[in-house]
């Protein structure tokens, strides 16, 4: 659209912005079970006010805005305390878990350049359940990901499997507390012992678990050790905008000490402009997310967070129990907190996700892997904890609907995939194939079951290429 010749009235602008949201799912009603973490109207108002107070302030230069230095320092010290770090633990606020994990990999790569200069092709060892942000970091930073399988029953990685994958090129071990897909905590102490034995850095991705698990422990629940209390853990990521209930754009990455953290930082005095010093990936960085995070930590306090965690934990227990009582469904593994996945041996869960979407719910579909079946993922938070009974009622109805519906002909889809793979130009063949099921051009598909079915049967590199093509066309 061209820029208007004259500015538009603010009422008209806000009305149109509301119209843009017409197809968005109603997260405020608690019907979206991923992506949004809602602490309730009162807390959200506190975060919003603090965020907008510091919206224009720029964290690029702390000499200009020392307020942001103080906000970041106090938030990091609070998170370090929750993660049982001592006074040597340091860190920074980032824009999200992906940036936090990317920085941990960058730090390990640059640390190895000094301490392991003989390593020409650095590698990191990570389980198949590790978040995709580590693969993104590997792609960006030239670090080879060595992916190992997990126990197909517990969905935890075995420490000895990690040990067997270590080579002279290994610079970093990665594990999750918990992983996103099944909500299971990897055996952090066992992996940390391998890191210590072999002189490696070890990053724990606690983006979803850092806050929640820490408060569970303080409330007396049994929580496996995963944080800085474990010798050998050298860095941890923990999101503020997930179960810290801060506004979007706020995570943390913490290091055992400054000697490790210094490899995260970047400086450049080699231009005619100002000397550039960056603590994280971004240069200009709004103070809004920092202020919002600081505000929610101080507004809720330990008592407020414990109330939220207790409420969410009980809701999760009831939800898992309710899913267990639906004969066609089963929960995978033993989730450690309030996110988990479930599957079915009797119905197509991709069709089940569409059936729930028609009822106004968002549940995240997860493709199969060599050790995990296709499944649906649920993240419970304070804003949807009150919807457990309604979700279960619709889930039972949706299961019956899918049982009555015509199932996707998986063998026919498999044959189409085999035909496309055997064509002279597989990528073009799959573009045509995906076009027949609605994934083309600049439009969002109405239903995803058949699309997910095709993607699930594709080799991962080809699925990645097709999705890149689609998103390349979706955005201008």
The pairing of beta strand 375-379 with beta strand 330-331: unpaired
How confident is the model over 238-244, as a mean pLDDT? 98
Q: Provide the pLDDT confidence category of residue 440 given band limits of 50, 70 and 90.
A: low
pLDDT digits (tens, 9 = 90+) for 118-156: 999 999 999 999 999 999 999 999 999 999 999 999 999
Alpha helix stretches (DSSP H) within 121-243:
132-141, 159-165, 188-198, 210-218
Helix axes 288-324, 66-82, angle to 10 degrees: 30
How many CA atoms within 13 Å lie on the side-chain side of 175? 31
Which pLDDT belongs to residue 469? 82
Q: Which of 225-239, 291-305, 420-434 has the lowest mean pLDDT?
A: 420-434
The pairing of beta strand 375-379 with beta strand 364-366: antiparallel
pLDDT digits (tens, 9 = 90+) for 12-43: 999 999 999 998 988 999 999 999 999 999 99
- CA–CA gap between residue 445 and residue 441 (Å, rounded): 10
List domains and CATH numbers for the chain. Answer: 50-296 (3.40.640.10), 302-404 (3.90.1150.10), 410-474 (no CATH)
Q: Is the pTM of this model over 0.75?
A: yes
Residue 241 near residue 210 (C-beta atoms within 8 A)? no
Which pLDDT belongs to residue 442? 66
Which pLDDT belongs to residue 311? 98
Which one-letter DSSP state was computed for residue 362?
Answer: B
How confident is the model over 428-448, as a mean pLDDT? 74
Q: Provide the pLDDT confidence category of residue 255 given band limits of 50, 70 and 90.
A: very high
Tokens of 333: 């593994």
Three-state DSSP at 86 gives coil
- The position carrying tokens 């010749």 is 5
Which pLDDT belongs to residue 441? 62
Q: Which residues are bridge partners to 340 per DSSP? A: 378
Which pLDDT belongs to residue 55? 97
Flag whether pLDDT at 437 surpasses 90: no
Which pLDDT belongs to residue 438? 65
How many residues make up the chain in this entry?
A: 476
Residue 238 near residue 210 (C-beta atoms within 8 A)? yes
For 280-405, list the strands marked E by DSSP.
330-331, 339-343, 364-366, 375-379
How confident is the model over 159-180, as a mean pLDDT? 98
pLDDT digits (tens, 9 = 90+) for 71-89: 999 999 999 999 999 999 9
Q: Taking the CB of residue 12, how many other CB atoms lie within 10 A of it?
A: 9
How confident is the model over 343-357, as a mean pLDDT? 97
Which one-letter DSSP state was computed for residue 8?
Answer: P
- CA–CA gap between residue 305 and residue 218 (Å, rounded): 11
For 116-185, list the strands marked E by DSSP.
123-127, 144-148, 170-176
Helix axes 410-421, 449-457, angle to 10 degrees: 50
């Amino acid at each position: 659209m061209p820029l208007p010749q004259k500015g538009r009235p603010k009422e008209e602008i806000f009305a149109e912005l509301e119209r843009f949201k017409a197809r968005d799912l109603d997260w405020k009603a608690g019907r979206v079970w991923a992506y949004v973490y809602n602490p309730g109207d009162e807390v959200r108002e506190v975060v919003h006010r603090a965020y907008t107070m510091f919206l224009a302030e720029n964290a690029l230069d702390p000499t200009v805005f020392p307020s942001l230095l103080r906000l970041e320092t106090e938030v990091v010290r609070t998170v370090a305390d929750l993660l049982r770090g001592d006074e040597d633990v340091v860190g920074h606020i980032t824009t999200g878990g992906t940036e936090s994990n990317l920085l941990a990999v960058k730090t390990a790569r640059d640390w190895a350049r000094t301490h392991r200069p003989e390593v020409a092709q650095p590698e990191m060892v990570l389980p198949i359940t590790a978040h995709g942000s580590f693969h993104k970091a590997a792609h960006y930073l030239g670090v080879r990901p060595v992916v190992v399988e997990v126990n197909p029953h517990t969905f935890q990685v075995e420490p000895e499997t990690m040990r067997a994958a270590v080579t002279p090129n290994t610079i970093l071990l990665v594990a999750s507390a918990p992983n996103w897909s099944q909500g299971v905590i990897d055996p952090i102490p066992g992996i940390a012992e391998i890191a210590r034995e072999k002189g490696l850095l070890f990053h724990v991705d606690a983006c979803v678990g850092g806050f929640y698990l820490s408060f569970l422990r303080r409330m007396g629940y049994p929580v496996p050790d995963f944080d800085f209390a474990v010798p050998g853990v050298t860095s941890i990521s923990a999101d503020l905008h997930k179960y810290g209930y801060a506004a979007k754009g706020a995570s943390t990455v913490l290091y055992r000490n400054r000697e490790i953290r210094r490899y995260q930082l970047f400086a450049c005095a080699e231009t005619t402009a100002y000397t550039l010093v960056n603590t994280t990936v971004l240069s200009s960085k709004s103070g809004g997310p920092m202020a919002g995070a600081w505000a929610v930590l101080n507004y809720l306090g330990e008592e407020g967070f414990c109330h939220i965690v207790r409420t969410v934990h009980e809701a999760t227990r009831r939800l898992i129990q309710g899913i267990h009582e639906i004969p066609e469904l089963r929960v995978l593994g033993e989730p450690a907190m309030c996110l988990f996945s479930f599957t079915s041996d009797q119905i197509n869960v991709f069709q089940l996700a569409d059936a729930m979407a028609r009822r106004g719910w968002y549940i995240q579909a997860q493709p199969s892997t060599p050790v995990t079946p296709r499944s649906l993922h649920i993240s419970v938070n304070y804003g949807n904890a009150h919807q457990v009974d309604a979700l279960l009622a619709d889930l039972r109805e949706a299961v019956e609907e899918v049982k009555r519906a015509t199932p996707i002909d998986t063998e026919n889809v498999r044959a189409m995939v085999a035909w496309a793979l055997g064509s002279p130009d597989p990528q073009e063949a799959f573009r045509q194939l995906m076009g027949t099921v609605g994934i083309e051009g600049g439009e969002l598909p109405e239903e995803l079951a058949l699309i997910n079915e095709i993607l699930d049967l594709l080799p991962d590199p080809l699925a990645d290429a097709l999705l890149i093509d689609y998103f390349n066309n979706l955005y201008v």
